Amino acid sequence: MKREDTIDTLRFIKDLLAKKLRNSLSLKLIFAIGSLILVASAVFWIAIVMRGEEQLINSSVMHAKGYNLILERSVKTNMLLGQTDVIQKMLEEIGASGTFRAVRIYSHPEGEVKFASNREDLRMQLKKGTASCRICHSGNSPADLEWTIQEDTQRFLRLSKAIYYENSCSIRCHYHPPHKKLIGILETDYPLSPLDRMIKEQKIATLTFGVILTFLSSVVLCIILWKIIIRPIMLLTDAMERVSKGDMDHRVNIDTKDEMGMLARRFNEMVEELKTARQRLENWAKELEEEVRKKTEEIRKGQEQMIHTEKLASLGRMAAGVAHELNSPLTGIVTFAHLMLKRLPPDDRMNREDLEVIIEQAERCSKIIKGLLGFSRALPAQKQKVDINATISQVLDMIKNQAKFHNVKIKTELAPDLPEIEGDPSQLQQVYMNLLINAADAMNDRGEVKICTRLVREDEKEYIEIEFTDTGPGIPEEHLNKIFEPFFTTKPVGKGTGLGLSVSHGIVRKHGGYMTVKSTPGRGTSFFIRLPVPKEETTTT
């Protein structure tokens, strides 16, 4: 790989890490705590190394002091014995042993080297300001011992020790004035290279140990962070993403008792509630959809009904026009046929029979025309106060002498004290008549008809209900929704016009009421007429 490529790759990784660090909480946490551990452990291990170095030097000083004491004693002994050449020889031998780097004995107060492990040092003058100088010239009382660490090509420990006169000196040979106490200074240099090697090795060991320990503790910390914070957060984030995409069955599986566990449990509860609310909404939507579908169907049926009604209305208007035009010529035909019948001799039976057929057929036409006019509301209604029970009784009086009703038993159950209603009594009687003729036709003029009246309440409004129940064969179910249509009839040609019920329904509607039918085939039919009671007539209950 070329150098430029390597640089590009490294730059990409750096950018990626910087981006990740900026965006990821986990990486931020690891970076922050890792940096903290690194700094803290660096300070800790540096302190340990420094303390170890100090202790090693202290122990070296202690050992050096011991050597110095032995050296001082043997120098003094040789001085008392007057064996100065032995001292010089002893120092040279010590210097050659390698334990000491250099040994020098300075005279006091001249400051001149009298004995030395290196012969070149003899008669060398003590330099001002050095540790050995400070023993006597520190400003305070003379110090017994001074040590310093110095460096030329290598580090070394310099110990400077004062050598004092003793009583035995003056007893033996060396008289010295009482004020003169100091013989000289013993200066010993110990090499520190073994110690430095040891410190270096200790530093490397401590550093290695520190790096390993820091690395291991960082790894352990990362694992702990991963387990207790990062992983739960990732699980929660993932769950939130899945739930937001519509997966309402997904739950977070954290069963710890800490805050993360609590958060997961709350989250799961929240999703459960969301799911329930969503299901409720979906159910509402379905119910609404069903309701809309039903209403649409009702509207569609209503529209069909409206079109049908519109068709019937135009048919009615057309029928009314035709009926009106036909009514006058038909009246003329019937009148003149009657006149001709009167003029014919009684024995002209053939012509009389023909004329009677003309009159009968013309009257039938007239009846149909009247029905058509009624259907189209061409006949105006005469509104007045009507006693329903009275109108029924009058109709019953009218039919009791008719042959058609001779074998029809009519029962009445008329509620007393019914309120009066607003209406046209002759039109209402026409309705009753139609229903009675239909009942008699259905029962082949033989059976029972029951007429009941009652006061009923519906939607806070009062109605008078009139029921006509016969014991006829009933109406087949498929005919029930057609019988109120004009021209629907099951009667033979020439007998039924199919206008009776539609005209009757029209009259009842004109009175603000409505008609219904109930029929069980084989067991009879019941027609119900409901007429509204005017407000002032309404009984307070």
Which residues contact ligand ADP (rule: CB under 6 A)? 434, 438-439, 442, 470, 472, 475, 483, 488-491, 496-502, 525
Nearest approach, Cβ of residue 433 and ligand ADP (Å): 11
Closer CB to ligand ADP, 168 or 490, in the complex: 490
Residue with Cβ nearer ligand ADP (185 or 323): 323
The CA distance from 276 to 271, in Å, is 9
Closest separation in Å from C-beta 291 to ligand ADP? 36
Check: CB of residue 267 under 8 Å from CB of residue 252: yes
CB of 489 to ligand ADP, least distance (A): 3
In whole angstroms, the minimum distance from the beta carbon of 438 to ligand ADP comes to: 3
Least distance to ligand ADP from the beta carbon of 333, Å? 23
How far apart are alpha carbons 360 and 66 in whole angstroms?
Answer: 168
Shorter beta-carbon distance to ligand ADP: residue 202 or 489: 489
Quote the least distance from Cβ 375 to ligand ADP, whole Å.
10
How would you write 228-293 as a 3-class SS string?
HHHHHHHHHHHHHHHHHCCCCCCCCCCCCCCHHHHHHHHHHHHHHHHHHHHHHHHHHHHHHHHHHH
| Residue nearest ligand ADP, Cβ-based | 500
Closer to ligand ADP by Cβ: residue 84 or 412: 412
Instruction: Say how far apart CA 534 and CA 306 lie, in whole Å.
Output: 28
| Among 130, 131, 117, CA closest to 71 | 117
Q: 379 and 414 in contact (C-beta within 8 Å)?
A: no
Query: What's the length of the chain?
Result: 541
Other C-beta atoms within 10 Å of 81: how many? 12
By C-beta, is 117 or 502 nearer to ligand ADP? Answer: 502
Give the Cα separation of 171 and 84 in Å (integer): 18
Shortest distance, position 521 Cβ to ligand ADP, whole Å: 9
Cis peptide upstream of residue 416 (ω within 30 degrees of 0): no
Tell me whether residue 52 or residue 498 sits nearer to ligand ADP (CB atom): 498
Rg (CA), the chain: 69
* Among the listed residues 489, 492, 511, 508, the one whose alpha carbon sits nearest the alpha carbon of residue 500: 489
Nearer to ligand ADP, 34 or 486 (CB): 486
